[in-house]
């Protein structure tokens, strides 16, 4: 029998090179019986000196046995140890989206395989700039970047995924992304609400940037449409515009 076998795999158990002092016994031949080591009884004696065994479904030592019998009924028993091992699960991990913004939700897209057909559980560890994010470890495959402290523009976000098949861990895999810039959103109001000729309208900016205060709005382009277009860059939240009288 082999020294090692994967859980649930097949292997050969054999008794070879039989020897007996009696020449007649060698001429007539021997009969063999085997114990697969799974807790059942020996099989019936027969002329075949080999059988196909099956490794048990749990890792550990499996003792297989064989008996050889001559024509006079003399029996000798042999045994061997087979170390049954688990095949660890395999996983791959990719983060989506690959260029997230600060209000996005990151998802770890994971594929898994297990040669033994075991159900696989996954453990996730999320890190920001190499430091584990508190409260984000476990079986949570998503990370909400909109929550305070989870990730802002320029932060390196990493997920580490470890598969487990109930018998042991597979290799940990990881993926990382950089939090990208979130474009500012333009919004403004003006007063008076009902301007007339000769009034000065004040346009007030209420635009916002999700990356603030890391990435504040620093410039505004006011484009005013009147009989002629006035387009000027201002570094101010307010822009007055005078409506001339006809």
Q: With contact defined as beta carbons under 8 Å apart, do 103 and 146 qualify?
A: yes
Residue ranges with strand state E in the chain: 4-6, 10-14, 31-35, 50-54, 60-69, 75-85, 90-96, 105-113, 121-128, 131-132, 142-144, 156-164, 173-178, 188-191, 200-205, 220-224, 230-234, 238-242
Per-residue pLDDT at 138 = 73
Torsion of CA 202, 203, 206, 211, to 10 degrees: -120
Per-residue pLDDT at 3 = 92
Residue 233 has pLDDT above 60, yes or no: no
Q: β-strand 4-6 against 75-85: which pairing, if any?
A: parallel
Whose structure tokens read 């688990």?
86
User: What is the DSSP secondary structure assignment for residue 26, as one 8-state letter?
Assistant: H
Q: What is the pTM of this model?
A: 0.71
Task: State whether residue 24 is helix, strand or coil.
Answer: helix
Task: State whether residue 149 is helix, strand or coil.
Answer: coil
Per-residue pLDDT at 86 = 93
Tens digits of residue pLDDT in 194-221: 877 777 777 777 887 888 765 667 777 7
């Amino acid at each position: 029998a082999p020294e090692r076998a994967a859980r649930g795999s097949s292997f050969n158990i054999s008794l070879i090179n039989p020897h007996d002092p009696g020449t007649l016994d060698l001429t007539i031949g021997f009969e063999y019986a085997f114990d697969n080591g799974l807790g059942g009884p020996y099989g019936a004696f027969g002329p075949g000196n080999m059988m196909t065994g099956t490794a048990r479904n749990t890792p550990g030592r499996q003792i297989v046995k064989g008996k050889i019998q001559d024509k006079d009924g003399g029996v000798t028993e042999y045994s061997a140890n087979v170390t049954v091992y688990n095949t660890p699960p395999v996983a791959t991990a990719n983060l989506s989206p690959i260029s997230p913004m600060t209000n996005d939700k990151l998802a770890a897209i994971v594929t898994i395989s297990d040669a033994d057909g075991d159900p696989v559980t996954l453990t996730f560890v999320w890190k920001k700039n190499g430091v584990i994010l508190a409260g984000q470890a476990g079986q949570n495959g998503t990370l909400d970047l909109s929550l305070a402290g989870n990730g802002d523009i320029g932060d390196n976000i990493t997920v580490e995924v470890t598969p487990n098949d109930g018998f042991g861990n597979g290799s940990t895999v990881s993926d990382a992304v950089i939090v990208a810039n979130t474009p500012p959103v333009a919004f403004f109001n003006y007063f008076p609400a009902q301007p007339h000729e000769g009034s000065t309208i004040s346009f007030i900016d209420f635009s916002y940037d999700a990356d603030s205060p890391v990435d504040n709005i620093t410039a505004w382009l006011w484009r005013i449409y009147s009989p002629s277009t006035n387009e000027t860059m201002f570094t101010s939240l307010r822009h007055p515009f005078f409506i001339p009288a006809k």
